[in-house]
Structure 1
């Protein structure tokens, strides 16, 4: 029986990296993305990636509460057309304060999630570069022998004193 070799992890990672590079290149060549990146806001966010990630998470997480708020505004506006002006003002005020509280909370959550995402990215990239960096076997054994020799000379110096 012939041995079956498992698929090479490095070849799979290179293929994945190639596909991701093509996807990023297609996004970067989009005319709307190019126009946004030339604007002052795009240049500022390009220089501050942590802020860009925080804004992206905040906007994506605040879409549902803002949608509910707008739905309540439309429904209460319909109620105002029927003569419930005091009820509309009360409901919009309460909902506006509720939305303010929710958006402040989402701002802090998105800031924390951005920090966690950035730290995770740094840790994972460091671990990936450490695990998949090419290290010849001869250097590892020579380095270990050198460290052992240095430790033994340190102990000999201690015993002589």
Structure 2
């Protein structure tokens, strides 16, 4: 039983070494390990493990926050679009009512002015139509007065 355990440990150690070599052969990891931070972390494995755990555990809350922020931004945009659509609809109805009222008002005012115009032109035409007759009648009266002799007037 102890031999199977040591064989299992050797297999695990071999697979760990293979995986570690694959990670270290990545150019980005090599660049990080050659930097000051990488050299410091390889000299302090407990700190490196603490940072790894912190990053792994912080991923969930950060992911939830970013998801919440994205959903909130999308809902705000959609709500803004619907709210703006509603405001445009209400303002279009208000504009339609105002324009309809202006149309009715302009028809009423133009009708009133038309009635006043027809009445005034009829009165002016009536006055000027009868005026020449009155003037002619006045001239005829003057003619008659001039034709009469002073003796005729005394009679």
Instruction: Give the greater-gyration-radius structure (CA).
Output: 2
Q: Which has the higher helix share?
A: 2
| Greater RCO structure (CA 8 Å; 6+ sep) | 1
TM-score, length basis structure 1 = 0.41
